[in-house]
Amino acid sequence: MRELSYAQAVQEALAQAMEADSRVFLMGEDIGVYGGAFQVTGDLVHRFGEDRVMDTPIAELGAAGVAVGAALAGCRPVFEFQFSDFATLAMEQIVNQAAKIRFMLGGKVSVPLVMRFPAGSGTGAAAQHSQSLDAWFAHVPGLKVVQPSTPHDAKGLLLAAIDDPDPVMVFEHKLLYKTKGDVPEEAYRVPIGKAVVRREGRHVTIVATAIMVHRALEAAEVLKGEGIEAEVIDLRTLRPLDTQTIIDSVKKTSRLVCVYEGVKTLGIGAEISAMIAESEAFDYLDAPIVRLGGVEAPIPYNPVLEKAAVPQSDGIVASVRSLVTGRI
């Protein structure tokens, strides 16, 4: 199978969706001739024209309103934010309009809207360009939230999101854009709402999202040398959450560690922990649930502090080792 980068996989998904359905169009700041802030849209403006690859003004709230209106009118817009942080400027349209219109009109309309968010730290972009706000959106009924961690899933989940009749928020970690992996040429779909076990294990379950999946897998390799077999679950979708895959794994391993880049307090790990506490898996636990999330502070610009602000592989190793063996 051929290899593509994560960014190439996203671009291919966009191109295939646009080729297959004339209702699909792209909009966002600098996505045209410039090719996107992270060069994801590339040359799509030359392939499909400015009518379907539209540069928007620096006005996220207004552009989001256009996207919602276009979706209500029968189009399938894909709106790229330059940085996920800028979604804060468009929350009224996302949370009060896109997420609620179908409910408020008794299901007689749908909002087939996709919003793409380059997210996360690691690029030295500082506090206003490095946040992980996925849990914000996962809190809102009416929105679906996905976080692909591989090029394969980046393409498949995006195509599934474009097909979906409801608004789907796609969070793409910026550090993953250059990572490579196997990606089929055909236009396949990865189901929204289904997690995947990336590594089988028997001593502890690690549930992770986005780049933390890769760090959890790195940690699992180190732990294997110490006789600890960690099972790693890639959540892929935050809403709807695949609770059964997590429950089944915890019942097998009897321990749970949640790893995510967003601030620890009220993050996705809190929801997973509560879900396990309310499920039949609770009686299988041999130790308290551990959450590893971002520190209680904005992401620093300094590269050493930036790295220290979010979980790293060595921290995952130490936490899992302590949980399983009692040793630091």
**Ordered per-residue pLDDT tens for the chain, 328 residues:** 899 999 999 999 999 999 999 999 999 999 999 999 999 999 999 999 999 999 999 999 999 999 999 999 999 999 999 999 999 999 999 999 999 999 999 999 999 999 999 999 999 999 999 999 999 999 999 999 999 999 999 999 999 999 999 999 999 999 999 999 999 999 999 999 999 999 999 999 999 999 999 999 999 999 999 999 999 999 999 999 999 999 999 999 999 999 999 999 999 999 999 999 999 999 999 999 999 999 999 999 999 999 999 999 999 999 999 999 987 6
Spans of all domains in the chain? 3-182, 196-325
What pLDDT is attached to residue 327? 74
Reading the block at residue 121, the tokens are: 């730290």
Q: With residue 198 as reference, give the H or E element that holds it.
A: strand 196-199
By the 8 A CB rule, do 148 and 154 touch?
yes
Q: Which of 3.60.110.10, 3.40.50.150, 3.40.50.970, 3.40.50.720 would CATH assign to domain 3-182?
A: 3.40.50.970
Say whether 173 is catalytic. no
The pLDDT, as a whole number, for residue 289 is: 97
Asked if the domains 3-182 and 196-325 are classified in one and the same CATH topology, the answer is yes
Indicate the CATH number for domain 196-325: 3.40.50.920
pLDDT at residue 328 in the model: 63
Cα–Cα distance, 10 to 158 (Å, whole number): 7
pLDDT of residue 227: 96
Are 66 and 27 in contact, with CB atoms under 8 Å apart? Answer: yes
The secondary structure of 95-154 as a DSSP string is IIIITTHHHHTTTS-----EEEEEE-SSSS--TTS----HHHHHTSTT-EEE---SHHHH
Q: What pLDDT does residue 319 have?
A: 97
DSSP-assigned states of every residue in 201-226: -SSEEEEE-THHHHHHHHHHHHHHTT
304 Cβ neighbours under 8 A, 6+ residues apart: none
Of the residues 12, 29, 129, 306, which is catalytic? 129
247: Cβ contacts below 8 Å, ≥ 6 apart: 275, 276, 279, 280, 281
Cα Dmax for the chain: 60
Query: Exactly one of 29, 60, 172, 231 is catalytic; which is it?
Result: 60
Q: How far is CA 82 from CA 27, 87, 116, in A?
A: 11, 9, 9
Tokens for 164, please give them. Answer: 């979906």
181-222 pLDDT, tens digit per residue, is 999 999 999 999 999 999 999 999 999 999 999 999 999 999
Q: Active-site residue 29, yes or no?
A: no
User: 54 Cβ partners below 8 Å, 6+ apart?
Assistant: 25, 26, 27, 28, 31, 32
Amino acid identity for residue 223 in this structure: L
The reported pLDDT for the residue numbered 231 is 98
Nearest-angstrom CA–CA distance, 10 and 153: 9
Can you name the residues that pair with 205 across neighbouring β-strands? 231, 256
